[in-house]
Amino acid sequence: MTTMTGAAPDTRSFEADVAKLLHLMVHSVYSDKDVFLRELVSNAADACEKLRYEALGKPELLGENPEPRILVTLDADRRQLVIEDNGIGMSAAEMTEALGTIARSGTKAFMEQIAASKSGEGGQLIGQFGVGFYSAFMVADHVDVISRRAGAETASLWSSDGLGTYTIGESEGGDWPIRGTRVVLHLKEEAADYTQRFSVEPRIKAQSGHVPVPIFLRENPYAEPLQISDGAALWTRAKSDISEEDYADFYRTNAGQFDSPALTLHYRAEGVHEYNVLAFVPEMRPFDLFDPDRTGRIKLYVRRVFITDEAQILPRYLRFVRGLVDSQDLPLNVSREMIQESPVLSAIQKGVTNRLLSELEKLSQSEPDRYLAIWNNFGAVLKEGLYEDYGRREALLKLARFRTSTSGHEWRSLADYAASLKENQTAVYFAVGTDLERLASSPQLEGFRARGIEVLLLTDQVDSFWAASGIDFDGKPFRSVTQGLSDLGMIPLPEGENSSLETPDDVAAFVDFVKATLGESVSDVRVSDRLTESAVCLVAPDSGMDRQLEKLLASAGQLGQASKPVLEINPRHDLITRLSALKEDQADLRADAAHLLFDEARVADGELPTDPRAFAARLGRLLLRGLRAG
């Protein structure tokens, strides 16, 4: 085991989430343990890239060892595997932060899913999330990390057996790196295979052969290192020279993912600005996709020098895309903050975003099944752009896919919807809710269904916002079926069905009675042309917002006084005609019926009765009256 001279090292406990994760690692929930090689080599490459950036302003950090490299050393006698880089290195404080905590969002949700999964599924979950350095404990019963930050006089040693605590300390002596980080894995007995060249070399070449830092391997601590990877940047090579396997390996290394890319975008932009782009749409949805703190995952390089992974290359609604942009025009000597304000970066942002949306549209036309797999994972995020990115709204509408009242569980495009428009139909109709099945059977859709009008069924939270933002498609506005008058009278019913909207006098009188009885509970009570099967339904006032959007804003505390709904009554429903025929001396029954009709509409809309106790009393009186009459 590696030792340290000088002051005794501190012993500290991992934060709770790390301790849980290490427990999962040690108990081998991951069937493919090779991932630790990819993760540690990727970390080493990142360290070298960060040094290249810092050395732009402080070239003395490179010393007499300017060329970046990663060295993998096998030691069968000691059953050790060592991965070393000459990158930026870490101080003791940085090691504590990097190795003693998990800063990535979504950790808790990730581990809950791991703990609940079957052993056969754990590997997929871990690979989907990415566990970085901690994957080392899948093959090692002890790990030492020795690191010296570039320009520092002292090195630091971090050491742990992965069972809940770690030690850390500093020293000026010992066999420490001049600069960079050395990770020493004391392998478990069953992992001794990772000390053999025939086992390790092909794995590194397959998983990490395209990192932009040369990789060397030596078969024992005294052997001459052999270069097994040239560190050539994959994105600078011609597409014709790169296989799908090469792209997939690079994606896994660069993004720290286990899946394969669902779409690869690789091109070189030339003209006013020159830059290379290598971007990937993942095959699997990240755990933290909807985390409010999640940002993009596009790395920015300038002439192959890593600058930052925090530049907003793509808009927020494309935050699931992984990859990098390598610019030839951005200055190397400008701060990361200033780069974000650069007009060159603005042009890159515009170009990359437009190209990516264009490639998605091409895929939707040429390989619709592949595209639908992407939409299933990321459609809810892409739709955020309909609300946030007015300039690209038309392109995003072409990409959007919907389930509708006539499509069942099949996805439909707006072009498909436009092809099925009915005579005199002047709007794209939609309904917003949280449950597809309940939405499809909601009473507000009955009049549309009777006329064969297709209605978009929107179940993502963001739908309430973009659909109500004044959007249109092909000149036809989006209109909620639960908002205002439905204007269905303009669209004829199929031949043979009763389309008369004339209301008998006794029904009109009953509607007026219900309105007077409900009073301030509703903004209006009126005869409906959208109901064909149900007796009643609720809709928003003509000038009010969609009811689902109003509910969302109210639950978030962003709405003061909610608007009063409109109660619509079906004048042709048997219950309504019978209630309308009640004599005036049955006023108590008519009043109970008026309140019960309102509560029935609320329940059908997914809400509770306004006064549950009063509702139960009225229902009890009505049942008792029916039993006595029987």
Residues 220, 82, single domain; the answer is yes
* Structure-block tokens of residue 543: 């000038």
CA angle 213, 215, 220 (to 5 degrees): 155
Number of domains in the chain: 4
Contacts of 564 (CB under 8 A, 6+ apart): 520, 521, 522, 523, 541
- The reply to whether 384 falls in a domain is no
Tell me what pLDDT residue 56 has: 85
Is residue 144 domain-shared with residue 281, that is, in the same domain?
no
Sequence-distant (≥ 6) Cβ neighbours of residue 222 within 8 angstroms: none
Residue 423 lies in a domain: yes
In the structure, what pLDDT confidence band is assigned to residue 169 with cuts at 50, 70 and 90? confident
Across the chain, mean pLDDT equals 85
Q: Within its chain, how far is the Cα of 17 from the centroid?
A: 22
CATH number of the domain bearing residue 564: 1.20.120.790
Sign of the alpha-carbon torsion through 219, 222, 224, 228: positive
For residue 601, give its domain range: 505-629
Q: Domain of 195: which CATH number?
A: 3.30.565.10
pLDDT interval class at 116 (50, 70, 90):
low
Structure confidence by residue, pLDDT tens digits, 79-97: 999 999 999 999 998 888 8
φ, ψ (nearest 5 deg) of residue 620: -65, -45
**What is the average pLDDT across 102-130?**
46
Better-scored residue on pLDDT, 335 or 225: 225
- Per-residue pLDDT band for 170 (boundaries 50, 70, 90) equals confident
Q: Let me know whether 57 and 144 are in one domain.
A: yes
pLDDT confidence of 126, banded at 50, 70, 90? very low
Most confident of 237-246, 351-360, 520-529: 351-360
Whether the per-residue pLDDT at 129 is higher than 60: the answer is no
> Strand, coil or helix: what is 380?
helix
* 568-604 confidence digits (pLDDT tens): 999 999 999 999 998 877 888 999 999 999 999 999 8
**Least-confidence region, from 211-220, 427-436, 558-567:** 558-567
Do residue 86 and residue 224 come from a single domain? yes
Predicted confidence band of residue 352 (pLDDT cuts 50, 70, 90) = very high
Q: Distance between CA atoms of 349 and 359, rounded to whole angstroms?
A: 15
Token code pair at residue 322: 């992984």
Whether residue 608 is contained in a domain is answered as yes
Residue 403 in this model has a pLDDT that exceeds 90? yes
What angle (nearest 5°) sits at the alpha carbon of residue 86, between those of residues 154 and 234?
155
In a domain, 4, yes or no: no
| Per-residue CA distances from 193 to 207, 312, 340, 498, 502 (Å) | 17, 42, 46, 79, 85
In a domain, 281, yes or no: yes
Please tell me whether residues 412 and 326 are part of one structural domain: no
pLDDT of residue 296: 76
Outline where DSSP puts E strands in 64-221: 70-75, 80-85, 140-148, 155-160, 165-171, 180-187, 215-218
Instruction: Give CA–CA dist 151/179, Å, rounded.
Output: 8
Q: Residue 170 in contact with residue 94, Cβ under 8 Å? A: no
Indicate whether 54 and 171 sit together in one domain.
Answer: yes
| Amino acid, single-letter form, for residue 496 | G
The residue from 230, 250, 277 where one domain ends is: 230
Instruction: Report pLDDT for 561.
Output: 67
- The pair of three-digit structure tokens given for residue 183, joined into one six-digit string: 């990770």
CA R_g for the chain: 32
Amino acid symbol at 366: S
pLDDT-based confidence at residue 105 (cuts at 50, 70, 90): very low
Tokens in use for 136?
Answer: 């080392």
CA atoms within 13 A on the CB side of 131: 32
Tell me if 15 is assigned to some domain. Answer: yes
Which strands sit side by side in the sheet containing 180-187, from one edge to the other? Answer: 10-13, 165-171, 155-160, 140-148, 180-187, 80-85, 70-75, 215-218, 226-229
Res. 29: pLDDT tops 50: no
Asked if 139 contacts 131 with a C-beta cutoff of 8 angstroms, the reply is: no
What is the token pair recorded at 456?
């978009």
* Higher pLDDT, residue 52 or 290: 52
The set of residues, in sequence order, having a beta carbon less than 8 Å from that of 300 and lying 6+ positions away, is 306, 307, 308, 309, 311, 313, 324, 325, 327, 330, 339, 345
CATH number at residue 465: 3.40.50.11260
Cα–Cα–Cα angle for 78, 79, 81, nearest 5°? 110
How confident is the model at residue 106, as a pLDDT?
Answer: 42
- Whether residue 385 is contained in a domain is answered as no
In the predicted structure, residue 422 carries a pLDDT above the cut 80 = yes
Amino acid 28: pLDDT: 47
Residue with the larger pLDDT of the pair 208 and 268: 268
Does some domain include residue 2?
Answer: no
Examine the domain organization and report whether 244 and 191 are in the same domain: no
Q: What's the CATH number where 288 sits?
A: 3.30.230.80
Residue range 387-404: average pLDDT? Answer: 95
Contacts of 41 (CB under 8 A, 6+ apart): 70, 72, 83, 204, 207, 208, 211, 215, 253
Q: Which of 230, 264, 283 is the last residue of a domain?
A: 230
In this structure, the answer to whether residues 83 and 117 fall within a common structural domain is yes
Which residue is it, tokens 């009278």?
A: 489
Domain shared by 219 and 329, yes or no: no
Domain match, 85 and 219 both = yes
Residue after which a domain boundary falls, among 490, 524, 556: 490
Q: Of the candidates 353, 367, 365, 354, which has an alpha carbon nearest to the alpha carbon of residue 262?
A: 367
- DSSP percent split of the chain into helix, strand, coil, nearest 5: 45, 20, 35
Looking at residue 15, the DSSP 8-state letter turns out to be P
pLDDT higher than 80, residue 196: yes
Which residue from 403, 37, 571 is spatially nearest to 256, judged by alpha carbons? 37
> Which phi and psi angles does 276 have, rounded to 5°?
-105, 145
Amino acid, res. 401? R
Residues 432 and 545 in one domain: no
What is the structure's pLDDT at 607?
87
Whether residues 562 and 624 fall in one domain: yes
pLDDT at 130: 42
245-259, 316-330, 491-505, range with greatest mean pLDDT: 316-330
The reported pTM is 0.71
